Structure 1
Amino acid sequence: MSARRRLRPLRTRLLVLIGLALAAVCAAMALTTVFVQRAYLLGNLDDRVDTAAERSLGGARLHPGPADDLSFLMDSGHSTGMLAARLDDDGSILAAEVVSANAPPRALTDAQRTALAGVRTDGSTHTAAVPGLGTYRVTVAESDGVRVLTGLPMDDVQHMISGMVVVEAVVAVAVLAAAGGLCAVVVRRQLRPLGRVAATAAEVSRAPLDRGEVTGLTRVPARDTDPASEAGQVGAALNRMIDHVESSLTARRRTEERMRRFLADASHELRTPLTSIAGYAELMKRGSDGIEPVLAWRRVSAESARMTGLVEDLLLLARLDEGRPLQSAEVDVAALVAEAVWDARAAGAGHDWELELHLDDAPSVLGDEARLRQVMAHLLANARVHTPPGTTVVTSVESTADRCLIRLRDDGPGIPPALLPQVFDRFTRGDTSRIRSGPQDGGSGLGLAVVAAIVSAHGGHIDVESEPGRTEFTVVLPSTAGEHAGDRRVDLMSMNSP
């Protein structure tokens, strides 16, 4: 079902609601107008009735004839249809007549007199239905013992009110129709952006988000993302959601690619020592003359150790990726770094190893000492393996109240610029440009990845800067405050054993 069809029920409901609201407003206005006009016309008629009553009472007082004398109705100036009656002290009608056009006043019938008999003599204006004459507004005036009932017909007022009701109804219907048509146009125009938003959402829903590369998803046009309107807010929110979906799918695709590449690299790295072990084992089994059993056994042991180290690094990375907590204890970074540098000197006597300490506080961190030793071992081994003999490697420790910095700097050939952004990625190697001291020092490309993972697990971070003649790794760890210590420089080549 298209977006336009989906919006049709909403448009219909809006139009119905608007129509009902307009009908209610028109009805209220019409009723108010009718009631106000009716009150005005009745008030005007009541004033005329009171005036006619005063005149009739005055005429009755000027004709002191019998108590049932209505000769004052013969005087000119009385309205056609006006009726008058003389009342006794008990309020009973003695005589009643109605003024006719171009004829003498005509006496009321008994039925008509009976209809007027129930009018209260309280001086107020009342409504009475007189048979054969219609509806009247009547009142009773009294003075010096003379009582006169006077009434005027309401036909003109009722006809005027009825005509007004008809006019109001016609006007209300016309206004309602015009307003309904205008509202339909406005609602349809205002819902067009929402229709385009719905169409965009429908198009995105048809995209194959569960497979393949998803790029260039349709966005809501900029004209339909105005934050000043509700439809624009919906369009802008939909665009943000589409952006999040695209970025999430891109990140997932990259993660899957990295995972596939990681599995391929890990499989390759594990297959190499396994192939060597299988080959030497087969040679030992056959007892080949060209291979000494001791040499074959050494190669098997070396390849086994290499595979064991690779598996241990992979397991460590997996644990760190899962966020498993490390052991936590206070670690003396200065002592740890010094021992690691001494170990590196023993393994790489052809390099110039130096240690510098610049300490404002005792360089203590809260962490896993074994893993931090592993960090230093990997960094120093990386400097030893990827720089030629004679390279100077300077390791420094700096400490402040809130952090501890370990810097490892060498004057080797440096890291290629193209490799620098991926230097901490897994299975990244720099063999093509950095010199190895021997084939036995070949690595799996996991060392710096393990370093970055361990440092991150301790709440720190590691950075690298490199150019020909200078490469510097900087490890920043959160520090625990300690005692003050002065600066000192240690040249390990000038020292005896630790």
Structure 2
Amino acid sequence: MTARLRSRSLRTRLLLFITAVLVCVCAAMALTTVFAQRAYLLGNLDDRVSDAAERGVGGAALHPGLTRDLTFLNETGQPAGLLAARLDARGNIISAAVVGHDAPPRTLTTAQTTALKGLEPDGSTHTRAVPGLGTYRVTAIDASGIRVLAGLPMDDVLDTISGLVEIEAGVAAVGLTAAGCVCAVVIRRQLRPLGRVAATAVEVSHAPLGRGQVTGLTRVPERDTDPGSEAGQVGAALNRMIDHVEASLAERQHSEEQVRRSEERMRRFLADASHELRTPLASIAGYAELMNRGTDRIEPGLAWRRVNAESARMRSLVEDLLLLARLDEGRPLQSAEVDMAALVAEAVWDARAAGAGHVWQLDLDLDAPALVLGDEARLHQVVANLLANARVHTPAGTTVTAAVRATPTTCVIRVRDDGPGIPPGLLPTVFERFTRADTSRTRAGVLEGGSGLGLAIASAIMAAHGGRIDVQSAPGRTEFTLELPVTELPATETAIGARTAPV
């Protein structure tokens, strides 16, 4: 029974529980009323029976010698149905009669007299069923040897109690029916928010979350999230849970997307690295094969020069790949105080020596010493890569400017040129590995084209130093920006003035 009740809906269980409570309350009130009314009516009846017995004793005392005398029943005012009897010393009934309606007292039959036997004349009241007369409330008293039994019918009391029970049952039935209907309506209305919350939960449970569906999940309406009610608290909690689920799924989807992109980049990286390594290896193998076939096919000096060039190219590529691998693993770099102004000046001098056909300028604007904490060799490699890109990928006569700006908190280095610029479609991936701009910029030569790792290495080195690198490009202006945190210096240090000069 309990299991079946638990399987029902909350609305049904509440209705059944409230109905059961109302039935118990109504039953308790009805029983209390019936028992109180019965006690009251029986008390009044017992008083009347005692009065009747006392009047009978008084009437019998007028003729003490007549032990069978019941003439007191003929007195005026005796109620109809009054039963009286005379008892001997043993308590046996000597004579008994009952008062009729507008008729003289009638003597009781033997069966009726037998029903009244066994009463002690102690004044206590008893209930006896008298054949042919009904149920009576009787008592027997003894006054100076005169023993009289008196009784009154209980029909009025029983009828009153029965009527009261019927009335209370009818009122209770009507009241319970009305209360049940009202409770059903109230419960239904009060549980509607909870039903909407449950419907939302069911709808969310049917969403294809396993396939990565992270948007458009149904929410509990705002009207059902009032924290002042239990249903509102459940609705608000469900909305928060749905938010957490969406956030978790979005984060998982983002992580999976990053993993996929990382795998794609890794596959592309391996393919590009294999291609870059295969090219010099193929060249070396080709020249070695020619040398094996004899010196009449190729000049030995030329072959060895080509082998050395391809070996250097392959060694440079392997070193770049190893550097990227170390930076990806987060290995610490050397850390020392580096003067970026002097470093950039040296890099510009080196670039001028390698590219005499370009115009090289150095622009220093130092409000504070341009001192950063980092690996001087790697930072020099970054600046040198940017200057080499500007030299290799722009035509002769291009002006390349390296500018250094230093403030008390940051050091900003900008390398800009007035060359043809980077194509817009290539700009978003310019810092990815093996990205080349050969289709848009004039390469100085096949050997100087690079492997497409320079800017990727520069980005990784800047990230390892806690800095950043950015690029903006348009026809006639390409500018790379490096930003590094400077080393904190005492306040007594003086700023270096700004100057711009060709190198």
In the superposition, the TM-score normalised over structure 2's length comes to 0.71
Q: Distance in 1 between matches of 2:347 and 2:403?
A: 12
Q: Distance in 2 between matches of 1:78 and 1:465?
A: 123
Write the letter of the residue equivalent to 1:373: H
- Asked if structure 2 preserves the Cα contact closer than 8 Å seen for 1:395 and 1:409, the reply is yes
Residue 45 of structure 1 corresponds to: 38
CA pair 160-390 structure 1, distance change in 2 beyond 3 A: same
Residue 489 of structure 1 corresponds to: 499
Q: Which one of 320, 333, 342 corresponds to residue 340 of structure 2?
A: 333
Show the 5 A alignment for 1:278-357: 278-357=285-364
Q: Distance in 1 between matches of 2:350 and 2:433?
A: 25
Q: Which runs of 5+ in 1 are unaligned?
A: 1-10, 87-91, 120-127, 141-147, 208-216, 494-498
Show the 5 A alignment for 1:79-478: 109=115, 113=119, 153=157, 157=161, 161=165, 175=180, 192-201=199-208, 205=210, 226=221, 228=224, 233=239, 243-244=250-251, 246-478=253-485
| Alpha-carbon shift at residue 40 of structure 1 (Å) | 2.4
Give RMSD over aligned pairs: 4.9
| Alpha-carbon shift at residue 265 of structure 1 (Å) | 1.3
| Alpha-carbon shift at residue 314 of structure 1 (Å) | 1.7
- Asked if structure 2 preserves the Cα contact closer than 8 Å seen for 1:112 and 1:131, the reply is no
- Asked if structure 2 preserves the Cα contact closer than 8 Å seen for 1:378 and 1:447, the reply is yes
Q: Matched residue pairs, number?
A: 446
- Asked if structure 2 preserves the Cα contact closer than 8 Å seen for 1:111 and 1:131, the reply is no
Q: Distance in 2 between matches of 1:355 and 1:84?
A: 142
Residue 18 of structure 2 corresponds to: 25
Structure of higher CA gyration radius: 2
Q: What secondary structure is seen at the aligned counterpart in 1 of 2:332?
A: coil
Q: What secondary structure is seen at the aligned counterpart in 2 of 1:441?
A: coil
| Alpha-carbon shift at residue 462 of structure 1 (Å) | 1.1
Q: Which deviates the most, 271-280 or 314-323?
A: 314-323
Q: Distance in 2 between matches of 1:282 and 1:17?
A: 89
Q: Which deviates the most, 300-309 or 128-137?
A: 128-137
Write the letter of the residue equivalent to 1:22: L
| Alpha-carbon shift at residue 446 of structure 1 (Å) | 0.8
Q: Which runs of 5+ in 2 are unaligned?
A: 62-66, 141-149, 226-233
Q: What secondary structure is seen at the aligned counterpart in 1 of 2:349?
A: helix
What are the Cα deviations for residues 50-105 of structure 1, in whole angstroms up to 9, with x where unaligned? 4445556666677744589996998769697x99999xxxxx9999x999985969
Q: What secondary structure is seen at the aligned counterpart in 2 of 1:306?
A: helix
Write the letter of the residue equivalent to 1:293: P
| Alpha-carbon shift at residue 241 of structure 1 (Å) | 5.5
| Alpha-carbon shift at residue 225 of structure 1 (Å) | 6.0
Q: Distance in 2 between matches of 1:451 and 1:70?
A: 138
CA pair 47-168 structure 1, distance change in 2 beyond 3 A: closer
Q: Distance in 1 between matches of 2:274 and 2:435?
A: 15
Q: Distance in 1 between matches of 2:248 and 2:288?
A: 58
Q: Distance in 2 between matches of 1:20 and 1:75?
A: 65
Q: What secondary structure is seen at the aligned counterpart in 2 of 1:200?
A: coil
Q: Distance in 1 between matches of 2:179 and 2:292?
A: 108
In the superposition, the TM-score normalised over structure 1's length comes to 0.71
CA pair 155-324 structure 1, distance change in 2 beyond 3 A: farther
- Asked if structure 2 preserves the Cα contact closer than 8 Å seen for 1:225 and 1:236, the reply is no
Identity %: 47
Q: Which deviates the most, 367-376 or 17-26?
A: 17-26
- Asked if structure 2 preserves the Cα contact closer than 8 Å seen for 1:60 and 1:70, the reply is no
What are the Cα deviations for residues 465-489 of structure 1, in whole angstroms up to 9, with x where unaligned? 1112211111112222223312232
Residue 228 of structure 2 corresponds to: none
